[in-house]
Amino acid sequence: MAPQPGGASSRVLLVSGTRPEAIKMLPLLAELRRRPGLAPVLLSTGQHREMLDQALAAFGERCDLDLGLMQPGQDLSDLFARVLLGVAGVLRRERFGLVLVHGDTTTAMAAALAAFHARIPVGHVEAGQRSFDLDSPWPEELNRVAVDAMAALMFAPTEGAAANLRAEYNAQGRILVTGNTGIDALLGAAARIAGDRALAARLALAMPPLDPARRLVVVTAHRRENLGPGLSRICDALAAIAARGDVQIVWPLHRNPAVRGPALRRLGGRPGIHLVEPLGYLEMVWLMSRAALLLTDSGGLQEEGPALAKPVLVLREVTERPEALATGVVQLVGTDPRRIRAAVARLLDDAAAYAAAARHAFPFGDGTAARRIADAIEDWAAADARMTSAA
């Protein structure tokens, strides 16, 4: 028996607060809407207000519920408390059979805890990824471990992530290897851009002036553990790379003043470096597709680079995505300027090394993760409805 629309077991609350969460949850939202027995509801906490809105606009979506919790210079503890109380209030007012959270953000952790307190099952999208270092990434490693300890449904992107879950505390949770919904979003966006010349032309107009004779290096850096000295070292490395004269660097700056301030002071106005405002999702996919190389401390680009056949240098010492390293497309380089410069030089100056890294790899799935997750949720909701009827 399929769950009845409108019944508690059929109502699924998807919670997002940041741009990466939205990008990876929206393919799942679309898939859940295709299931007549399910009633998905999208809630925004507003953890990253403007960047979240950019992601929603790229998919032509809007939130059903919006807590609007963004505040300038927000402290992690204050944000956690506001998300916890805000989501708890929603769960008191409305009935849901399942709360879905994504990844490792403060929004995911607080929303999962609110659902746990309300005795509502939690589903964790992108479960099981581990760096095994609570300081890196900080505080994300603790967030994802805690969410998995509470989750009834754990959607692991890879078999390695599932193995991590099987070794941990929560033996009662159901673990499914699904792939990563971020690859669903990426492949869909890339196909959309490739098939629409007018769209591609509009995206190109949103970019800084790019020199076709220079290779493009795309940078993202915003991790909390890199703020301060780490970010300064990254800036030093980028200045030296730009000084080669044969590359151009585009860095869409995060809204966090602790990122923007140092980057603008140290790199603003330097030849060959474009420090730009945060790009929309489609703009970012267009830019990555044209890059020779990606430098990042982001988890998402570690997944997206291999799918786009783009070498990725990770500006961290550890990663929770060892599957990306195993492809040879992704390499850890940390924040030491000499190490970063050497890795960039090897890829840009050694054709064989570049060819070995610039190849397609899909360790995080084939673009069907949302369908697999929706299938599992549909089965779970139907079983819950049967149990409720029998009671």
The residues annotated with a catalytic role in the active site are 104, 126, 140, 222, 224, 254
Residue whose tokens read 């924040």: 335
From residue 219, give the alpha-carbon distance in Å to each of 32, 222, 319, 383.
Answer: 34, 10, 17, 46
| Residues linked to residue 16 through DSSP beta bridges, in sequence order | 44
Residue whose tokens read 């993760």: 369
Are 309 and 302 contacting, i.e. CB atoms less than 8 angstroms apart?
no
**Two tokens, residue 277:** 């405002």
Specify burial of residue 36 (Cβ count, 10 A radius: 0-12, 13-18, 19+): exposed
Length in residues, the chain: 391
Alpha-carbon distance of 196 to 290, in angstroms, equals: 16
Alpha-carbon distance of 375 to 387, in angstroms, equals: 19
Name which of 307, 315, 244, 231 is nearest 273 in CA terms: 244
